[in-house]
Amino acid sequence: MDSKHLEKLEILTKRTEGEYQAFLYDCDGTLADNMMAHKLAYQEVAANYGIGLDLDMVDEFAGMPTAIFAKEITKRYGVDLPDTFASEKSQIFIDKYIEKTQPIAYVAEHLKNHVGKVKIAVVSGGSRKTVTNTLTVIGLVDLIEVMVCAGETAKGKPAPDPFLAAAEALGVDPTKCIVFEDADLGVQGAIAAGMDWVRVDKL
């Protein structure tokens, strides 16, 4: 790990000292350095339907389940997208990009350093299949006690539902959880769930 990542790991470690009993990590852009790959996969599948997708839109709705994001694309571009959009995007990502995924070193190391000390969950707007594959590639899947993924709660981020579901599955009070995120929607969900949070991309 280079000096920049070591410095961020130190900051992150200090920020998360205290009475926390559970750490809830987002996956894409937080544990996995793969946001550009997701953007390119979105752009490719959108192009199949005649849409020149602005990549900034992916940042705007980062953390939102793909099926819900497809509805936002329809609103903005006026092109109806099929129900298969999410699975098509996921397949492109898996086929072309997932094996090249690298961890975000300081966040992944932070997680590893706390195994056995706190309970650990991943709360993601990605599908369980894609998230599981991603965590496997970056070597973290066996360290995760609970995963809450797209479509597994009544509402996704920015609603509190996925975070509260993770806390319940871990048996931890939401006020004893801290969330690690890289997107506004995730932070909004954490706040709504009554949890502390850290924007790992802002350290």
Residues tagged active-site: 26
Strand partners, 178: 23, 196
d(CA 203, CA 199): 7
As a whole number of angstroms, the distance between CA 155 and CA 159 comes to 6
Q: How many CB atoms lie within 10 A of CB 158?
A: 18
Q: Which of 19, 27, 4, 3 is nearest to 118 (CA)?
A: 19
Cα–Cα nearest to 120, from 20, 191, 201: 20
